[in-house]
Amino acid sequence: MAARDFVAASPKLNEIELAYHRVSRQRNLYTLLLLAACVFAIFGGLMIANEANSGDFWVGLSQFFDYPVDLFVGAYEKGLAGLGSLVVHYFPFLLETLNIALVSTVIAFGLGGALSFVASRNLVQSRLLVFCMRRIMDVTRAFPEIVIALLLVLIFGPTPVAAVAAVTFHTIGALAKQFSETNENADMKSVEGIQSVGGNWFEQVRFGVLPQVLPNFFSYGLLRLEINVRASAILGFVGAGGLGAELKAVVDWNYGADILVIIFMLVISITTIDYLSGLVRRKLIGTAGAH
């Protein structure tokens, strides 16, 4: 009986196998076509750039390591004493960058957290209100920090205020989205219990949801702090202060040793923050927060 069933099923198995091979060939063909289109776009772009006098790509590629070598040669000529003095000189600007990131993250943490509760489908009955709050979150995330900073520098001038406002505006949307998704995964039994004894909406959120989600909130906040340190450094290139502004100045004047010291300070500070925040996240949410 089993043998007859197998013989009867063989045509169907062959059809499935043929269909699988057909789909596999189509997928390989589409992959090759996509790769060919990418190669065509890359080389076409290089040809257009060369015709526009933007420089020859292959000539630049052959000189790729010349600039890094010049940086290290300039740092070597400075010596340890000279490099140490540069670290002391640029350290206040590093603190300014870290302060921009920290203030922006703290402000966005509070505002994004408040916005997330109103944008959570399991906490708000009005679909229209949730929709509006989520669109606000989309708008704040849609604009990169550097675009906002460019506009604010024109308004406030080249000050760290522009950087703080730009990073805060973008971070509110990013954290609010992550927080709202965390809220929607919360256990609603405690909320239902508070509601059953007459607790209002704020009490349901404060005592039913917040204790569950707060560790994840802090984890996301620390992760965002790392991102904001890098963003704050980049915003210096548009005149928003901090170590990035000093980096732009020394790049314009081609001060090799200064460039290397600033990059080294940024890498060390971001790596340190990443390590420390990773330790804190592991304490808050366990091994799931480990890198």
Domain boundaries, the chain: 2-61, 65-289
pLDDT above 90 covers a percentage of the chain that reads 22
Most confident of 76-85, 101-110, 237-246: 101-110
Q: Which position has the token pair 């063909």?
A: 29
Taking residues 146-155, report their average pLDDT: 86
Which of 10 and 280 is assigned the larger pLDDT?
280
Q: What digits encode the pLDDT tens for the residues 14-73? A: 777 777 788 888 888 889 999 999 988 888 877 777 777 656 667 777 777 777 888 888
Q: What digits encode the pLDDT tens for the residues 226-268? A: 889 888 888 888 877 788 888 888 877 777 788 888 888 888 9
Taking residues 100-124, report their average pLDDT: 92
Which of 53 and 129 is assigned the larger pLDDT?
129
What does residue 5 show for φ and ψ, rounded to 5 degrees? -65, -40
Taking residues 2-18, report their average pLDDT: 61
Give the integer Cα–Cα distance in Å for 200 and 260: 57
| pLDDT at residue 290 is higher than 50 | no
Q: What digits encode the pLDDT tens for the residues 199-216? A: 898 999 989 999 889 888
Domain spanning 65-289, CATH class: mainly alpha
Average pLDDT, the chain: 83
What does residue 120 show for φ and ψ, rounded to 5 degrees? -95, 125
What does residue 23 show for φ and ψ, rounded to 5 degrees? -65, -40
Taking residues 162-170, report their average pLDDT: 91
Question: What pLDDT score does 54 carry?
Answer: 58
Least confident of 12-16, 26-30, 139-143, 184-188: 12-16
Neighbours of 50 (CB within 10 A): 14
Band (pLDDT 50/70/90 cuts) for residue 288 is very low
Band (pLDDT 50/70/90 cuts) for residue 4 is low
